[in-house]
Structure 1
């Protein structure tokens, strides 16, 4: 009896000790953090997502998944319940995405804000957060279209790289190489001219300066020529007046001679004759000045050489030409 009592006491002691240890472990492992529950709404798959999967806000773990199920009102939607730390800044503009946990194939829920510059407005407890498709989901959705476009691009590339096009491309490359060679030769030929170009520019500048000076001299000569022409015109007008006066004098003398021939005494006839000769001399002088008005300035030019005189043969040659 005494041995049985000791065995029962030892068993009770061990049982109480185990219960105490279990209570201690439960006490230390218990989650006493204040949580706020939200619902993540997904219209695509949530593969790799399990209960107790972590929930991260901008990479910081702030909660876990506590439920996964279909929406009773719309079976095409999946409702994922998450428990998030009450201190986590979950805003009304937050959206969710699935992320992979390394190479395990398991997923977690990542929360991101759409507008990070806007003032923080916390989401109400129980609010629904949309789940945006991940990169792999978008690739899976647009995969057939991408494959079709890739196939079309491959066909066009195959058509572009046909035998005829490759041959034509080879000819074009040969012509391009020949053009490059010709250009190199042309540049080599132009190098001496390019070296001489500065000197030519200097000569052209000096020539332009000389031409400017010559133009100024020509303008000065033109001004002098205009003045000389005006002077000559004035002198010619004077000569014309002189010629007119001589003609009037000759006419008057002739009239006087005719009037006095009949009844002039013999003593006055030599005087009339001298007046007539003087008038004719004045007329010849006026006619000579009219033919060569420049003789008034530069002197009378000599008459052309006659037969037997020096220069007559050259004159005949020039006249023959």
Structure 2
């Protein structure tokens, strides 16, 4: 009898625990059902390996939704387009909680979302640690560097363009570097380097190393001699006396500048300069309007100088002129003596 009552109580406990769990699930589920959400879609022109349904969607690290679907764009929008002309984009659908966007219960309109996209709002794949699992991250980037990919249809839900993730960019850079390395002629580069090394070795062998060593030693000896001469010059007593002489000259110059007679001398010099200036201005005023008279005086002086030179020459030839005897008559050119 006691065993049956124990089983009965155990059954009631299990039933109560299950009912409580179901009730909690219903309450939490109903709460999520009544929260306003909005559907968002984005497209990736590349692999989304590591992204699964249920992965979180974050806005600058804050979870705002989760991934609800992963497929191809041509399965929804390009059914009537030939397979060879379809875009091979990967389409990712996500549910975004409106209350996490800071807009209250208002669902953001396509115009508001487009304004955010114009400011640089993009979606990219981000890794969760080193596990190889990715999630969607929304962030603002430079719209000039992250232009949206080309689409030829009208999105069914709110559309936010994608941008390459960090891992994707690293892989693209590595592939780009690999392609450039493949394009390089590595054998030609190695051959060129080998030829350069051979030329350097030949040039080294052609150098007269012994002569270079001798010239280097001689140059070092000259440097040593010059250094010794400079040291003797610097250690000379006369050079040591130069700072003291400079100090004495500075003291004398300072005493001269502070002397009252120095100021008086400067004043006299200033007065003399002004007097010279006044004299020059007066002379300039006197000369103005008498230029012709000065020219006449200069001409007369020139004539007097010529006459004086002729008289001097006659006196040198005929000294009797100074005693009153006239000079002999001049003989014209081309005529004989009388």
Calculate the TM-score normalised by the size of structure 1.
0.49
